[in-house]
Amino acid sequence: MDIRKASQQEVSMIMELVKKAVADMISKGIEQWDDIYPNIEVISRDIAEGNLYVYHDGVIKGIVVLNEYQDKEYEEVQWEKQCGKPMVIHRLCIAPQSQGSGIARAFIDFAEEYAKRNEYDSIRLDTFIHNLRACRLYEGKGYKKVGIVTFRKGEFYCYEKNIV
């Protein structure tokens, strides 16, 4: 397993992974992402800011973004950890042919270790309410559902896990 920061030279490979994942989600009735989001500008910015990580095993099989950015919608959520420094997980995406192989769990473990090393107090994230597989993943890893926010594509559950 190799989880590392992505490079700008990998943008096209990452976008191909995202495109396949979007098609796979839509085929399963999960209309969380589309050709508008996440787009190449979002992914390129994530890489430029040093926040996008790839799971690389000869080929990129997944991505995740770790940073402190919280959408304004997060202000309405009753987070358990009201003070301290939260880290946020964004854009966790696994190539369809690699789903079910433990890569998403490896990313969550990596994120939690990263949060501990960098002295974050909690981890926050959101996921589409119809993405039941993602909901089960986060709940199985000990994340607590703390609210619902609405984005362009609909309602998203907000999850939080205290690190300290």
User: What pLDDT, in 10s, does the model give residues 87-118?
Assistant: 999 999 999 999 999 999 999 999 999 999 99
CATH topology of domain 3-162: Aminopeptidase (3.40.630)
For the cut 90, the answer to whether the pLDDT of residue 25 exceeds it is: yes
- Give pTM, 2 decimals: 0.95
Distance from C-alpha of 29 to C-alpha of 6, rounded to nearest angstrom: 29
All structural domains of the chain with their residue ranges: 3-162
H-run or E-run covering 25 = helix 11-27
pLDDT digits (tens, 9 = 90+) for 5-15: 999 999 999 99
CB 79, CB 121: distance < 8 Å = no
pLDDT digits (tens, 9 = 90+) for 51-68: 999 999 889 999 999 999
CB 66, CB 49: distance < 8 Å = no
Query: Which residues, 6+ apart, have CB-to-CB distance to 15 below 8 Å?
Result: 40, 43
